[in-house]
Structure 1
Amino acid sequence: MAVVLKVGNREVTADEVLPLMAGYQMLPKFLQELIIDEAIADIDCTPEEQADACSQFYAQNKIAEDEARQKWLKLYGMNQEQLEALAARSLRIDKYKQVTWGPKVESYFLERKGSLDKVIYSLIRTKDVGIAQEIYFRINDGEQTFAELAREYSQGPEADTDGLIGPVELNVPHPSLATILSRSQPGELSPPTRVGDWMVIVRLERFIPCQMDDAMRQRLLEEQFKGWLQEKMQAVDAIFAHANPDLELIEANAAPSQESNGVATAPRLDVSNTDANSESHS
Structure 2
Amino acid sequence: MNERSAAIAMTSTTPAVPHTESGLVIADQHLNTEELIDLMRRQGAIPRLAQEWLLDQVLAETPLSSEEQSDLLRDYRLSNGLESDEAFLDHLQKRHINEALLIKMISRPHQVVRYREERWGPRAQSLYLQHKDQFDTVTYQRLEAADADVMQEIYFRLKDGEESWDSLARQFPGAGPDATALRGPVPVAELEAPVLEVLRHCEPGKVARPIQIGSLVVVVSLVGFQPSSFNDELRTVLLRQAFESWLQEECSRMLERITFPT
**If the length of structure 2 is used for normalisation, what is the TM-score?**
0.72
Change over 3 Å in CA distance of 1:193–1:4 after alignment to 2: closer
Change over 3 Å in CA distance of 1:184–1:106 after alignment to 2: farther
Match of 1:192 among 209, 213, 234: 209
Q: Is residue 20 of structure 1 aligned with residue 42 of structure 2? A: no
Where do residues 5-154 of structure 1 align in structure 2 (5 Å cutoff)?
5-124=24-143, 127=148, 131=153, 134-135=156-157, 137-139=159-161, 143-149=162-168
Shift of 1:220: 1.9
SS at match of 1:171: helix
Q: Report the identity percentage.
A: 24
**If the length of structure 1 is used for normalisation, what is the TM-score?**
0.68
Shift of 1:22: 1.9
Shift of 1:98: 0.8
Change over 3 Å in CA distance of 1:59–1:216 after alignment to 2: farther
Q: Is residue 174 of structure 1 aligned with residue 176 of structure 2? A: no
Distance 1:21 1:179 in 2: 44
Partner of 1:264: none
Shift of 1:4: 4.1
Distance 2:154 2:91 in 1: 63
Partner of 1:221: 239
Change over 3 Å in CA distance of 1:82–1:123 after alignment to 2: closer
Distance 1:115 1:122 in 2: 20
Contact 1:136-1:191 within 8 A present in 2 as well: no
Distance 2:107 2:49 in 1: 19
What is the root-mean-square deviation of aligned Cα atoms in Å?
A: 3.5
Greater per-residue helix proportion = 2
Specify every segment of 5 or more residues in structure 1 that has no aligned partner in the other structure, as ranges: 245-282
What count of residue pairs does the alignment treat as equivalent? 237
Distance 2:79 2:56 in 1: 22
Partner of 2:259: 239
Runs of 4+ aligned structure 1 residues displaced above 6 Å come to: none
SS at match of 2:189: coil
Change over 3 Å in CA distance of 1:59–1:212 after alignment to 2: farther
Shift of 1:202: 2.8
